[in-house]
Amino acid sequence: MEIIPAIDLLDSVCVRLHQGDYEKVTRFSEDPVDQALSWQKQGATRLHLVDLDGAKSGEPVNDSCVRAITSALNIPVQLGGGVRTLERAEELLAYGLEQVILGTVAIEQPQLVKQLAQRNPGRIIVGIDAKNGKVATRGWISQSEVNATDLASDFNAAGIAAIISTDIATDGTLEGPNLESLRAMANASSVPVIASGGVGCMADLLSLLALEPYGVSGVIVGRALYDGKVDLKEAIRAIGDGRLQDPPTSKPLMA
């Protein structure tokens, strides 16, 4: 299972929001490039960027920072937040990003996402952010009545690379991932699902291994890394590629 460190950008600095609330911001680093290089040095095989300004306003406030990060790193970088047009998605890909993540347009303009996936095979990810099973959009400010699992199944034949499933109620709380929600998403999706939200300790990461057979292939970790509650190198050894021990499988009791 791939562990993907997250850098959330707000006014070109690294922050984290509590449950998506822009009024509850914690700053972690004034130098996103240095932070990105640190995660790469510690063994990260991929980096997850979130443009919080873009998600909220749709304005490309952090583009220079994004370009600096992709230029400095030699691992794949993916980005979400405010990607709402074909032109914007392909502009970001031209910056050196490996993949772009589309959230709001996945529910508002699903055909656009499918068109992008056809034009850019393997480089489009759908981000589904949900609260109580319903999809939220526009930086989590707007709540829809669409079931997250229904939206996931709509893209099964679209050729997208993956779905990032974020549970808003647990995001930034360090209280553990919503395993029930993740399993439902993985069952609804025919493409890999990446977990996001709630990881607060190594036990939370280990708990996700039980969902790997259902299609949960990775996990995005943010606040727990910055708070020191999870050590990236240790986490990679525990659940990453070449991990020390696979999760135990249940065996029938002997008669």
Q: In DSSP terms, which residues pair with 128 in a beta bridge?
A: 165
The two beta strands, 99-102 and 77-80, are parallel
Instruction: Say which of 51, 53, 129, 167 is annotated catalytic.
Output: 129
> pTM for the complete prediction?
0.88
* 10-residue mean pLDDT series, the chain (255 residues): 95 78 80 97 97 83 95 97 93 97 92 97 94 75 81 96 89 83 96 94 96 97 93 95 58 42
Active site residue 129: yes
Mean pLDDT of the chain: 89
Sign of CA dihedral 158, 163, 165, 171: negative
Which residue has tokens 């609804």?
188
Q: Is 89 helix (H, G, I), strand (E, B) or coil?
A: helix
Residue 251 has a pLDDT of 42
The structural domains of the chain, with segments of one domain joined by +, span 1-237
CB atoms within 10 A of CB 227: 13
What does the pLDDT read at residue 244?
58
Phi, psi of 194 (to 5 degrees): -110, 125
CATH of domain 1-237: 3.20.20.70
For residue 149 the two structure tokens come to 């699992």
Q: Per the residue annotation, which of 8, 51, 154, 171 is the catalytic one? A: 8
Told to judge if 8 belongs to the known catalytic residues of this protein, a careful annotator would answer yes
- For position 140, what pLDDT does the model report? 53
What is the reported pLDDT for 55?
Answer: 79
